[in-house]
Amino acid sequence: MQAFDQIETVVKSNTYNISKKVCWLISIVIGICLVVLIALTVYFGVRSPNEIIVYVEATSLSTSTTNQNEITTTTRRNEVTSTTNQIETTATITPTPPVERIPTNLKPVLYEWTITPNLTDETFVGDLLYTFTCLESTNKLVLHMVDLNIDNSTIAIVNSSSGTMPVFDAWSYDDYNQFMIIDFSSDFQPETIYTVHIVYWAAIDSDLEGLYLSNYVDASGTSRTFLTSQMEPIYARSALPCVDEPARKAVFRITVNHDPSYVVWTNGELERSDALVDGRVNSYFAPTLNMSTYLLALIVASKADFACLPDRVISSKNITSRTCGRTQILPQIAYADEVAFKALNFFNEYFDIDYALPKIEHFAVPDFEGGVSLRFSYQSLILGLLIYAEPGLVFDEKTGSTSQQQYVTLIVAHEIAHQWFGNLVSPAWWGELWLKEGFANYMETVASDFIEPSWRQEELFVIEKIFSFMKADSLPTSRPISVESTNLADIFLMFDRITYDKGSSIIRMMAMFLGAEVFQQGIRNYLKSLSYSSATQQDLWRYLTEATNNTVDVERIMTGWTHQAGYPVIEINRIYTKNDQQLQQQKVNGELIITQQPFNLFPSTTKQETWWVPFKYLDQASLELSNENPLIWLNSTSTTLSVTTSDSNWIIGNPNYFGTYRVKYDPRNFQLILTQLQTNHTLIPVINRGALIDDTFAVSRAFLINATDAYRLIDYLKDERDFVPWTAAFSAIDQQEYLLGDNEIYPEIQSYFLSLVLPLYNSIGWGYINQTADWRRALLQPKVLRAVCSFGYPECIDRVKTMFRQWYLNSTENGIPTSLRSLVYCFAVSEGSYEEFQFLWNRLENEVESIETSNLLDGLACTKDRSRTVWFLNQHLKDGSVIREQDITDSIVNVASSRDVYPIAWIWIQENWSKLFAKWGKTDSGLDDVIDEITNRFVTVRQLNEFKIFADSIVDKGTVYRQFQLSLDKINAAIAWNTANIASITELIRSMNDSSTMSHRLSSFTIPLHDDLH
Ligand SMILES: [Zn+2]
């Protein structure tokens, strides 16, 4: 800490005091690089034109395919064109070639695996008897394997059903495919079963992958370790040689040789434990069901420090459910234990297939990849033994926050759903990961609606999953849900919002257009027919279509949604009723012209896809009469519908966000909606109020309307109190801050946003909210307080300071409610001095609970002080850092998201890239999130160029390659949007501020960092 001043000097000189000589030198180097780049582009462009994506000028974009007479669109695409012309072309960042698949001539049958871990030496010895059936003759046995030290003398065929045993010759290693290729002197014969024996050893480290050591502090305060595992997606090969592909299932029979002071958990039930003469114990486990290798799970931990809550038994089905973890946290996992039992019962009934094993165990471990934030938690979908990061199971009913309770409920339900979607029926390949993750993500909502009906989780699904994927899926380089071939990087990258949130959103859409009962019947048949094997999406389509008695062709409807990236925006243009002069009073019915086009933040003429869109709408009259308008399929670019509602009634598309598409309205209808929101917003259903906000801001990002229309829409928020529209609004406000945060108008925009949220702030306040009685307000409270404090509202900041001060003066007693800690720490540090920062850091050094650790890291990241920022970032990469491995990338993301210090974080990321990449560049550990977050605020050509130079300088981009591409697109889109919209937003905000009676004008505390916006 004493080195702050020194660091600050370094940062300043690095950043701002570059001498003229250096500038010249950099210019020359950049010039040379550009020439080389152009030459390479021309050369490779001629050779393989398909690999180069060129942003096409936007001149040929039409506003609407059926632009009718009286419809006026307010699109500003012409202005956008001039901007996109200035943006240089970007070459596609191509990934490495796909990996080869293991030949199917030998079929896995059984892994008899004996493991002897040595937690002191941090090594293990594996003894494998692998049994396979020969389908086609070959003399090569190919297995996945990585970082295992094989004892060649042990490799031998030890059993065969024909009695003939080919002799081991030699083995070689294919590094790229991670193949161990074992040659034998003669061929294996078809329809014969063989067993090969292999002994090996390997190191166990703490990298959260494969078998790894997890750290914890025991009851006496001593630091200790235990062995746990994370095999998905492709780490089983680092535990044993195996066919590590999801469809290549086999039975596992596991034996663990361990010290008697340890206890073992794995997929199967313990059959018996034998004491050995050397004092150790052999624990034998029952064979598993036929399962994928990524489901393998193993925990070896101290008997004194780990235990389970009492068993819960479904006696009629003889299934035992138990929840385990560190003995200290057992009381805090009681809620998860109850949810787990309820969810298991629910799914047994819902799927009409009983859970397949006699036991299901939920295990909380302190160190787990994914950490506290819900980073696509592929932690725990393990057959028989489900392993969670502790925050996934911990919820203290006395002090826990509403969001923790929700998180635990959803994650437990998600992982139990995987016992059917994923374990019973697995996707045939990682490219169709959505068949398990999309379903588990959808089913968690269905189950939690059953477990906690008052939460109305269905409404939260729209904002937390649909809006979330839509933001991620709106750039030209986004990917389809279903991907044909994958390289190693792509296997990790499949665990993203597209797989989880888009996957679950289109499943919800199917459930809605098929109807709940038909949908349930279809997936029951799918699961029953394909149990213990694997499936493709064609299988799913087939069973769902059959459930409709072949009246709906599900494949035809859904293929576009899974094979095309992105989603459509639907324009609703009304032809209003005209009085027929000749027939006097007789009226001609109004019409709706509905058109679709791909939604894109950076329009490109290469995107011409259409989707099968289930279109529904609400009109004011039908709402008052409780009539539903029928479902219409839009499968072409445009169609026209007749409507009977009066011209003075509004029409709103996509009730309850029925389909996964955005909606844009003609100006007159938009004005009718606006008037409704301003007069009595509650007449519009709550999901659609949220949707109007999210869609309108998004549509403005795609240049289909003026951004000022979105600002006008949210003016009604002064009267809004519901969680759903406000959550959509906070997300939109964050986006506006990313785009405009460094602009001179931003303080005035903040002032406007503050005026919208203050009535809600005053109604919710800082007092205790009983979450059982008022779930939504409890969930909304931290969001509102955080927003108001972020706008610098003095009363909010004073509250924070007072709460923090009380804790600071009596540090043994933290009276800050759990749900408010993260935000209180954040603003105490950002508005405070070295004292507050140091206090939190000292707490972090001694903190053992994961959730509080996360709160403290959130707080530390909020410092506005540059030298403290650099010091804090440096701690993430120090050997033996107190910041846990699982929290590192999330914590760097926190700093990168700060409006105050993101430029410092950007310099730090570039300077430390090689270290970051060496640690996290080859797996899915959040380095892509770091690049995503830091580029959220890049909105100028200068920042774009800086980012491109950095991206071009990195040859191997590992699992971050796709994010580099997406970020380039995102920055281009932001530049174009700012250029098109800043003037009109400035004008609107100034006129509103001039005419308003707002009493909370803020001083201009923002110093514009960029002078190249205009
Ligand atoms: Zn999952």
Q: Do 512 and 594 belong together in one domain?
A: no
The pLDDT, as a whole number, for residue 368 is 67
Tell me the angle at which helices 834-846 and 850-860 cross, rounded to the nearest 10 degrees: 160
Residues 555 and 573 in one domain: no
Q: pLDDT tens digit string along 516-552?
A: 999 999 999 999 999 988 999 999 999 999 999 999 9
CA-CA distance, 561 to 546, in Å (whole number)?
A: 20
For CA atoms 640, 646, 647, 649, the dihedral sign is negative
pLDDT tens-digit readout, 934-965: 999 999 999 999 999 999 999 999 989 999 99
Tokens 């596609």 correspond to what residue? 92
CA distances from 273 to 121, 266, 286, 361, 419 (A): 23, 14, 12, 19, 27
One DSSP character per residue, 806-865 reads: HHHHTTT---S-HHHHHHHHHHHHHSS-HHHHHHHHHHHHH---HHHHHHHHHHHTT---
Looking at residue 488, its pLDDT comes to: 83
* Ligand 1 geometric centre to CA of 495 (Å): 9
435 versus 208: the higher-pLDDT residue is 435
Same domain, 671 and 649: yes
* pLDDT 10s digits, 303-355: 999 999 999 999 888 899 999 999 999 999 999 999 999 999 999 999 999 99
Q: What is the DSSP letter of 166?
A: P
On whether residue 557 sits in a domain, the answer given is yes
Cβ atoms of 592 and 576 within 8 Å: the answer is no
Asked if the model's pLDDT at residue 999 lies above 70, the reply is no
522 and 622 co-located in one domain: no
Q: Quick one: 613 and 551 in the same domain?
A: no
In this predicted structure, what is the pLDDT of residue 492?
Answer: 87
Quick one: pLDDT at residue 4? 35
Residue ranges of E strands in 342-481 = 359-365, 385-389, 425-427
Q: Which pLDDT belongs to residue 997?
A: 47
- Residue 638: strand pairing partners: 595
Q: How confident is the model at residue 9 (pLDDT cuts 50, 70, 90)?
A: very low
Q: Contact 194/165 with Cβ under 8 angstroms?
A: yes
- State whether residue 197 is helix, strand or coil: strand
Together in a domain, 150 and 282: yes
Q: 518 and 621 share a domain? A: no
Write out the DSSP string of 497-554: HIIIIIHHHHHHHHHHHH-HHHHHHHHHHHHHHTTTEEE-HHHHHHHHHHHTTTSS-H
Mean pLDDT on 249-276: 96
Q: Please state, in angstroms and rounded to a whole number, the distance separating the CA atoms of residues 903 and 909.
A: 10
- Whether residue 399 is predicted with pLDDT greater than 90 in this model: the reply is no
Pseudo-torsion of CA 13, 15, 19, 22, nearest 10°? 120
pLDDT in tens, 170-190: 999 999 999 999 999 999 999
**Residue 422 clears pLDDT 80, i.e. is over it:** yes
Element of type H or E holding 37 = helix 20-47
Pairing of strands 617-619, 587-588: unpaired
pLDDT of 794-842, one tens digit each?
Answer: 999 999 999 999 999 999 999 999 999 999 999 999 999 999 999 999 9
Residues of each annotated binding site for Zn(2+)? 414, 418, 437
- For residue 436, the CA-to-ligand 1 centroid distance in Å is 7
From the annotation, which residues make up the binding site?
Answer: 414, 418, 437
From 76-85, 114-123, 890-899, the region with the lowest mean pLDDT: 76-85
Question: Same domain for 603 and 650?
Answer: yes
β pairing state of 568-575 and 662-665: parallel
Q: Is residue 534 part of a domain?
A: yes
State percent of the chain over pLDDT 90: 72
pLDDT band at 885 (very low <50, low <70, confident <90, very high): confident
Examine the domain organization and report whether 573 and 531 are in the same domain.
Answer: no
Same domain, yes or no: 170 and 281? yes
**Residue 681, pLDDT score:** 97
Residue in this structure with the two tokens 């505390």, named with its chain if needed: 1005
In the predicted structure, residue 14 carries a pLDDT above the cut 90: no
Which pLDDT score is estimated for 357?
Answer: 87
What CATH number should be reported for the domain holding residue 646?
Answer: 2.60.40.1910
Task: Judge whether residue 90 has pLDDT over 70.
Answer: no
Quote helix, strand, coil % in the chain, to nearest 5: 45, 20, 35
Is residue 616 over pLDDT 70?
A: yes
Within a domain: residue 867?
no
Task: Report pLDDT for 43.
Answer: 38
* Number of compact structural domains in the chain: 3
Q: 639 has which bridge partners?
A: 594
How many angstroms separate the CA atoms of 806 and 955, rounded?
A: 51
At residue 925 the predicted structure's pLDDT band, cuts being 50, 70 and 90, is: confident
- The answer to whether position 597 is within a domain reads yes
Domain boundary among 254, 287, 302: 302
Residue 472 Cα to ligand 1 midpoint, Å, equals: 19
**Whether the predicted pLDDT of 18 surpasses 90:** no
| Distances 200 to 88, 89, 259, 293 between C-alpha atoms, Å | 53, 51, 20, 18
What's the CA gap between 573 and 624, in Å, rounded?
A: 22
What's the pLDDT score for residue 627? 67
Output the CA 612–ligand 1 centroid distance in Å.
Answer: 27
Query: Over the stretch 489-505, which tens digit does the pLDDT of each residue have?
Result: 888 888 899 999 999 99
Q: What is the mean pLDDT of residues 651-666?
A: 96
Cα maximum dimension of the chain: 107
Can you list the positions of beta strands (E) in 62-148?
106-118, 123-134, 138-144
C-alpha 514 – ligand 1 centre gap (Å):
24
Q: Is residue 857 part of a domain?
A: no
Distance 35 CA to ligand 1 centre (A): 47
Q: What is the average pLDDT across 30-39?
A: 48
| % of the chain surpassing 70 pLDDT | 85
Residue 582 lies in a domain: no
Distance from residue 922's CA to the centre of ligand 1 (Å): 21
Q: Considering 284, 302, 320, which residue would you say is the last residue of a domain?
A: 302
Q: What is the CATH number of the domain that holds 267?
A: 2.60.40.1730
Distance from Cα 653 to the centre of ligand 1, integer Å: 32
Over 90: is that where the pLDDT of 151 sits?
yes
How many angstroms separate the Cα of 591 from the Cα of each of 543, 580, 639?
37, 15, 10
Instruction: Tell me the CA–centroid distance for residue 243 and ligand 1, in Å.
Output: 22
Question: Do 137 and 283 belong to one domain?
Answer: yes
Report the CATH number that the domain containing residue 491 is assigned in CATH: 1.10.390.10
Q: What is the pLDDT of residues 850-865, one digit of tens each?
A: 889 999 999 999 999 9
- Asked if residue 203 belongs to a domain, the reply is yes
- Residue numbers of the domain that contains 111: 106-302
In this predicted structure, the answer to whether residue 54 has a pLDDT above a threshold of 70 is: no
Q: Is the pLDDT of residue 1009 over 50?
A: no
Sign of CA dihedral 212, 216, 218, 223: positive
What's the pLDDT score for residue 369?
59
What residues act catalytically? 415
Per-residue model confidence (pLDDT) at position 869: 98
CA of 661 to the centre of ligand 1 (A): 24
pTM of the model: 0.87
Residues 245, 123, single domain; the answer is: yes
Mean pLDDT of the chain: 87
Domain stop point among 257, 275, 302: 302
- 799 domain residue, yes or no: no
**What gap in Å lies between CA 343 and CA 349, rounded to an integer?**
10
Q: 97 pLDDT exceeds 90?
A: no
